[in-house]
Every structure is written in C-alpha cells, then in structure tokens.
Chains A and B, each alone.
Chain A
C-alpha cells in the first residue's frame, strides 16, 4: 500500500483512540505517515470532546417534564406489554356489545320491539332435536319439526307457535336447558 492510501485509511480513524495493528505498524516505520497521523491527532484534540452543547440538570428535568406531559397527552401506548391498538380493539368491542344491549332494552321499553312474540323459534341441531323428542313434556313440536316452541330464556317462559304463553319454566327445566342446549341458539 502506498503512503497516500495509508493517509486515506488514517483519516477514517480521525478522532479514534486506537488504530488497527496494520496502520499502527506502518506509522511506526514511515516518517511521512507518522507526520500525517500526528497532524490528524492534533486537529482532533483541538476539536475537543462532546461538551459544546451540554444540557444541565435543570434543563434535563425540564425536558423530561415536557416529554412526560407530551406522552400523557398522546396517551401511553405500552401498558404491561400490550400495544395500544389491541387495547383499543378490546375497548371498542366492549362498547359495541354494551351499546347494542342498551339500545335493545331502550327499544323494548318504548314498545319498538315486542316483549316476546313466541315466534323466536330456533333451528334445532340433530342432537338437540332428538333430545327435544324425548322430552316432549317440555317441548311441543310444531308442524314443522325442525322447530321447537319459542323459549324466552330471560323471562323463563315458553310460548306456543301462536305466541300464547304455555307455562313458566321451573328451576329444573331451566337447569336442563342450560346443560343440554346451546342457550345462544335457543334465544
């Protein structure tokens, strides 16, 4: 390697405490490169260290206060390792479910939705259909055997196809329903 090429290499280590072994070895043997290196070293020393813009303690704390205010303003995005968009998703789902439920109640109370028409019949799955047949004292099958009579699960009452109240469900019947049927499908 020529001295000019060494100079180019030396410049890459401008301001660095140590030189690679190959460069240091050459500098020890070459007067021209040593002089160039000394010039670089002197220039770097003259530039000083990283203290020309040094926030003091007060400025640092003021900066932190401002930063923390800004973080609070933009809402913290890391809560126990859960990212903000997941939290927003969960919150939105909860609001949606609660909102729909409240709206339903509101319309019911204002007569927009009938209390129970007895027509909220649900399609039976095969297994449920068999169970319904075996418990005909509880379920009266309609003409269309794919349906059972409407069950108002919340009022614990059963209705016939014409919407007439048949009877209140006993605790045992409720328990049976909960254990043997997908209540969501019955509603």
Chain B
C-alpha cells in the first residue's frame, strides 16, 4: 500500500520541486487523507486537524526546493505534520474541548445499521482510548498502526531513538489491551 502511493508520488515530486503547482496539488490529493487522519487522531479536533494539515502542506511547498530526497517524501511530510501537531498540543489553544465529530467513510451496502453502529462505537472507543495516551505514545501508535510505517522511519519522523519508539508502541498496545478488557470488548 505504502509502495503504491510512493510510486505515484515520485514523478509528481520531481515536477513540484521545479514549481509545478498542479503536480503539488496532486500530491496534496494523495497525501491529504493520511495527514488529516494523523492530525485529527492527535488533536481530536476537526478544525485544528484541517488547519494543521494546511500548515503542513504550506510549509512543504515553501521548503520544497530544499527537499533533497534523502528522506522519503511522505516521511518528510509526516515529520512536518508531527512537529506542527506537537507544537499545537503544547500550546494553550489545544486545551479547547475536543470534538467528537469523526464520522465513518461511506460504507459498503452490505453493512447493516447494527454493524455500522457497532463500528462507530468501536472507533469512538479507540479515539477515547487514544486521547488517554501520552502524546508520544499516541503519535507512535498512529504512525505504526494506521500508517504501517517501519520503526526506523518513525524514529526519523519523531526524532526519537528506535528503541524508544518501540517502547512507546509496546506501551500503547499494553494500555489498549487493558482498555479493551475494561470496556468488555471481545474480538
């Protein structure tokens, strides 16, 4: 999955670094969903999530000429998004009560209303759980579980040692397991 969008990104990046706005818009279309999903799960605030995503892409455009391809482009974007999100979470404005305005993607027709409701409850539960995690654990959980990134890349994105990143992920999983048990969840 990661490889497929990276293959699509490569020729677009080459055009975008020369100032091609259309190519950059296409990059935004491809990367918007994972970036917004990351910023939303971290902040749990729809408006802040979109603002942070916009700041991320704006900074990416402004610094595109300095992107030398030493890091993977999506990792570079995640790093920008991560820094902006961590700064936001450290600021007083993040203290605003988080909204619960997440919603499900359009589901396939074979999903019954009961199933949809159950999935929605579960996703709400996961978001609740994630908001209980320390920021760094939440970030690592997002990048590893939802984005399937290897620990080496997460280490580069977060600026933490690989061992620390692994510990963060393991701790998050242990807490998730406990949380699910408390909620009476069964697989």
Contacts and interface: CB of A to CB of B under 8 A. Distances in A.
Binding between chains A and B: yes
A114 interface: no
Contact of A66 (B54, B170, B177): B54
A144 B42 CA distance: 81
Contact of A67 (B54, B66, B105, B169): B54
Interface in A53-84: 53-56, 60, 63-64, 66-68, 70-71, 74, 76-81, 83
A14 B173 contact: yes
B13 to A, nearest CB: 12
A110 B10 CA distance: 61
A50 B177 CA distance: 19
B21 interface: yes
A50 B66 CA distance: 30
B4 interface: no
B57 interface: yes
B6 interface: no
B86 interface: no
A47 B145 contact: yes
A51 B61 CA distance: 26
B65 A78 contact: yes
A12 B33 contact: no
Interface stretch (B75-83, B118-126, B131-139): B118-126
Contacts of A41: 187
A46 B33 contact: no
A64 B28 CA distance: 7
Interface residues of A, number: 40
- Which of A41, A45, A64, A76: most chain B CB closer than 10 A? A64
A55 B180 contact: no
A163 interface: no
A53 B176 CA distance: 20
B146 interface: yes
A46 to B, nearest CB: 6
A16 interface: yes
Contacts of B50: 63
B186 to A, nearest CB: 8
Interface string B136-178: 0000000011111001000000000000001001100110110
Given A64-B25, A67-B57, 19 more contacts: A12-B166, A40-B173, A42-B187, A43-B177, A43-B187, A47-B126, A48-B119, A48-B122, A48-B126, A50-B34, A52-B105, A54-B37, A67-B54, A71-B58, A78-B19, A78-B61, A81-B18, A83-B65, A83-B66
Query: 5 nearest interchain CB pairs?
Result: A42-B187, A54-B105, A51-B105, A15-B145, A11-B173
Interface of A: 8, 11-12, 14-17, 39-48, 50-56, 60, 63-64, 66-68, 70-71, 74, 76-81, 83
19 contacts: A11-B169, A15-B144, A15-B145, A40-B173, A45-B187, A47-B122, A47-B126, A50-B33, A52-B102, A53-B103, A55-B33, A56-B106, A63-B50, A67-B58, A70-B58, A71-B21, A71-B61, A77-B61, A78-B18
